[in-house]
Amino acid sequence: MSNYEITPGTAFTQLLIRNHPGAIAWINGSEQYSDLSGAVKFYHTTYGGVLVEAEIFGLPNISRPGSSNFYAMHIHESGDCGDHFSHTGLHYNPGNMPHPDHAGDMPPLLGNQGYAFSVFYDKRYTIQEIIGRSVIIHEKPDDFTSQPAGNAGDKIGCGTIEWTA
- CATH no. for 19-163: 2.60.40.200
Domain ranges within the chain, ordered by starting residue: 19-163
Q: For 107-143, how does the pLDDT look when each residue is reduced to its tens digit (9 = 90+)?
A: 999 999 999 999 999 999 999 999 999 999 999 999 8
3-state per-residue secondary structure call for the chain: CCCCCCCHHHHHHHHHHHCCCCEEEEEEECCCCCCCEEEEEEEECCCCCEEEEEEEECCHHHHCCCCEEEECEEEECCCCCHHHHCCCCCECCCCCCCCCCCCCECCCEEEECCEEEEEEEECCCCHHHHCCCEEEEECCCCCCCCCCCCCCCCEEEEEEEEECC
Q: For 24-83, how does the pLDDT look when each residue is reduced to its tens digit (9 = 90+)?
A: 999 999 999 999 999 999 999 999 899 999 999 999 977 777 778 999 999 999 999 999
